Amino acid sequence: MRIERDSMGEVKVPSDAYYGASTQRAVENFPISGIGFSRRFIWALGLLKGSAARVSGPAGYVDAAKAEAVARAALTRFATATSTPTSSSTSSRPARGPRRT
């Protein structure tokens, strides 16, 4: 476990989780369906976060070193994910993005 902080204080989050305090609070307070996100959604989220970081660093919105670290992590871990902590699938088939023409 690790400690994450947000505007509501500290919360324990599993060490292998790729989310922070707010998501952990939602997991604890709203255990509704048990259905996780698809690998395709996780792939798209990684692509989006990585791309946003790549633009935000040079634009001066985020420290350049932090932006590059976020982009590298997002694009290597999430955009190439074959399984995720929130996925109930055990398939080893790689995640696929949109078709390129």
As given in the structure block, the two tokens for residue 50 are 């990585």
Q: Which residues are CB-neighbours of 44 under 8 A, at least 6 positions away?
A: 97
- Give residue-wise pLDDT tens across range 10-21: 999 999 998 999
Q: Is the pTM of this model over 0.85?
A: no
| R_g of the chain computed on alpha carbons | 15
pLDDT digits (tens, 9 = 90+) for 13-63: 999 998 999 999 988 888 777 778 888 888 888 889 999 999 999 999 999
Residue 52: φ, ψ to 5°: -60, -40
CA–CA separation, 41 vs 34, rounded Å?
A: 16
Other C-beta atoms lying within 10 Å of the C-beta of residue 14: 12
Q: Which domain range does residue 22 map to?
A: 1-32
Same domain, 40 and 23: no
CA distance 93 to 57: 33
- Tell me, yes or no, whether 45 and 28 share the same domain: no
57 and 17 inside one domain: no
Q: Could you tell me if 78 and 52 lie in one domain?
A: yes
Measured in residues, the chain has a length of 101
Residues 52, 96: one domain?
yes
Question: What would the two tokens of residue 12 be?
Answer: 């324990």
Pair (96, 64) in one structural domain: yes
